[in-house]
Structure 1
């Protein structure tokens, strides 16, 4: 079982293998690092979870994908604690009226490997709607090329 498939069986908050999946998939597709180069590699998983100035989410490959990762910024944006977020079907991050558009976008990511500069409406746990702006969503692939899910880097939001 690879890091993305472990989901909530083991905490992926600072798991080095899951961090490697996130970061190598990102850098392979976008030709740039996920974490600033000044962050020592041994500290990178913790920095990404605790200190990153952007939200980062990842979901698995289930028929109805479930979030397996959400850094502290993503938890704050969506108003979910880790244990809530990592049992949430990712489709519920959008309201029902926005889910078809979201699904079409995710299919584009699957087809193209990644999409940058995405903008979409999302909803918090309390029902507050907000825009995610300039989002990069990419396919998570392990070293063997197996599809392990998708991840989203959310650099900004707007009301």
Structure 2
């Protein structure tokens, strides 16, 4: 079974999209599907990377669409065991942490650019990143997510 098709991933995809809409007033996907399975499929196969992590002290990634898995050179099972901080090089982690704190305080942050690193050590620059807080159906914070529409390999 595809990872995006599991019930927890389908629910999480809905929360990712609903939270983005809540904080930014914008739709995450170009067209929002009417049912949750279609939404989960569209988000997983969207051409722009989408990642999220939980709200642990050292957050672990809990979602990555196919574009993110490809860019970071990870399988789904590898991604969902990885601390989120490891998506950036050690020297870029302080700037990344500051951005996540800004998003935590405001609900979202945008226009971020930074250097990231894949599993094999390949470095790439991301541009125009949006970071937002993920909330559940009761409005409780459950993590943060990011997407970006520009990147290039360094």
Q: TM-score, normalised by structure 1?
A: 0.87
Q: Is the 8 A contact 1:12 1:68 kept in 2?
A: no
Per-residue CA deviation, residues 7-66 of structure 1 (Å, 9 max, x unaligned), is xxxx862433212211110011111212232644341111111x2010000000111000
* Equivalent runs, 1:1-159 vs 2, <5 Å: 13-14=4-5, 15-37=9-31, 39-41=33-35, 42-49=37-44, 51-159=45-153
Matched pairs, number = 148
Q: Is the 8 A contact 1:12 1:18 kept in 2?
A: no
Q: Distance in 2 between matches of 1:66 and 1:128?
A: 21
SS at match of 2:143: strand
Q: TM-score, normalised by structure 2?
A: 0.90
Taking a change above 3 Å as real, the CA distance of residues 67 and 38 of structure 1, as seen in their structure-2 partners, is closer
SS at match of 2:101: helix
- Stretches of structure 1 lacking an aligned partner (at least 5 in a row): 1-10
Q: Distance in 1 between matches of 2:32 and 2:106?
A: 30
Q: Distance in 2 between matches of 1:101 and 1:54?
A: 22
Q: Distance in 2 between matches of 1:106 and 1:38?
A: 26
SS at match of 2:4: coil
SS at match of 1:140: strand
Q: List structure 1 segments (4+ residues) > 4 angstroms apart after TM superposition.
A: none
Per-residue CA deviation, residues 77-116 of structure 1 (Å, 9 max, x unaligned), is 1111111011000000011111111111111110111011
- Stretches of structure 2 lacking an aligned partner (at least 5 in a row): none
Deviates more, 1:98-107 or 1:27-36: 27-36
Structure 1 residue 134 displacement after superposition: 0.4
Q: Distance in 2 between matches of 1:39 and 1:147?
A: 24
Q: Distance in 2 between matches of 1:80 and 1:16?
A: 20
RMSD: 1.5
